[in-house]
Amino acid sequence: MEIIKTTHLTKVYSNNGLEVKAVNHIDLSIEEGEFTAIVGPSGSGKTTLLNMIGGLDDSTEGTVKIAGTNINSLSENELIDFRLKNIGFVFQAYNLIPVLTAKENVEFIMLLQGLSEKERKQRSEELLNHVGLTDKLDSRPNQLSGGEQQRVAVARALASKPSFILADEPTANLDSHSTSTLLDMMAEMNEKEKVTFLFSTHDQRVIDKARRVITIEDGKIIKDERR
């Protein structure tokens, strides 16, 4: 099943009358269960593309369809609700609520979705277990390493049972050990539970683990390879 479909997706920024086509007519289709990396040099448009797919940014032209819904037609509030139900986010940094523990952070998104306390508790523990943080349930983000924080972020993204997980350079702030732990964990979830991942990266080791690698340059797809 096709989860993400973009058609002629374009984003033009104008800086002092100077137009920058950050994303230039991108047609992209992502199937359920894919593990895709978007790669490209800095300024090539990775973040801009992912933000539009994630409904965080408007497109100048073209459309984004997520699981059949054209998200360009949603109002701002509908879009927030749509993100909550359909997309799991992992950012490069500032992922977690600093005043909540790891477990509370994971529970928070389920709370927004209106799940019962029992479900929240059970699922958050299960997920944190899964990402190897059984003994860090009650730690606050500032008591966790960067890698552990990103793993909590992945657990939170999964907690909402989204259609796919969107991650913009999730490993950019991590050392190589944490990077491989996080990636192995994501790959395992993709394999075992068929969770769809779409992430951007600079990191060759991350690229090596991807099953599909889309390379963009100057806002255009120049290569799309599956392995």
Partner 1 sequence: MKTTIKIAWRNIWRTPMRSFLVIGSIVMGIWAGIFVIAFSYGLNKQRTLSSIKNSISHIQIHHPEYDKDYDSKYFLENPDLIKTELETNANIKAFAFRSLLNGMISSPVKSNGVRIIGINKNQEKEVTGIHSGLVEGNYFESKRKNQILIGEALSKKLKVKLRSKIVLTFQDTDNNIVAGAFRVCGIFKTQYTKYDEGTVFIQNSDLQRLIKSKEFHQVALLCNSLDDVDSTYHSLKTNLNDYEVKDWKTISPELAYADEIMETWLFLIMIIIMLALIFGIINTMLMAVFERRRELGMLMAIGMNKSKVFFLILTETFFLSLIGAPMGMFLGALTIKLTSETGINLAIVGEGLQSVGLGNIIYPVIETKFYIFIGVMVFIFTLIAAIYPSRKALKLKPTEAIRTI
Ligand X SMILES: Nc1ncnc2c1ncn2[C@@H]1O[C@H](COP(=O)(O)OP(=O)(O)OP(=O)(O)O)[C@@H](O)[C@H]1O
User: Do residues 198 and 191 touch, judged by C-beta distance below 8 A?
Assistant: no
Binder among 63, 69, 72, 92 for partner 1 (CB under 8 A): 92
* DSSP E strand stretches across the chain: 2-15, 18-31, 35-39, 61-66, 69-70, 87-90, 164-168, 197-201, 212-217, 220-226
Interface residue with partner 1 among 21, 25, 32, 56 (CB under 8 A) is 56
Our CB check for ligand X shows the closer of 45 and 88 to be 45
Stretch that binds partner 1, among 20-28, 84-92, 192-200, 210-218 (CB under 8 A): 84-92
* Residue numbers 25-54 binding ligand X by CB under 6 A: 40, 42-48
142 binds partner 1 (CB under 8 A): no
Smallest distance from the beta carbon of 82 to partner 1, in angstroms? 8
Of 215, 26, 170, 68, nearest to 223 by C-alpha is 215
Q: In the complex with ligand X, which residue's Cβ is closer, 22 or 66?
A: 22
Contacts 24+ apart (CB under 8 A), 133-137: 133/102, 136/102, 137/101, 137/102, 137/103
Does the protein bind ligand X through residue 6 (CB under 6 A)? no
Binding part of the chain for partner 1, among 19-27, 35-43, 66-74, 75-83 by CB under 8 A, reads 75-83
Provide the pairing of β-strand 212-217 with 69-70. Answer: unpaired
Summarize as ranges the residues that interact with ligand X (CB under 6 A): 13, 15, 20, 22, 40, 42-48
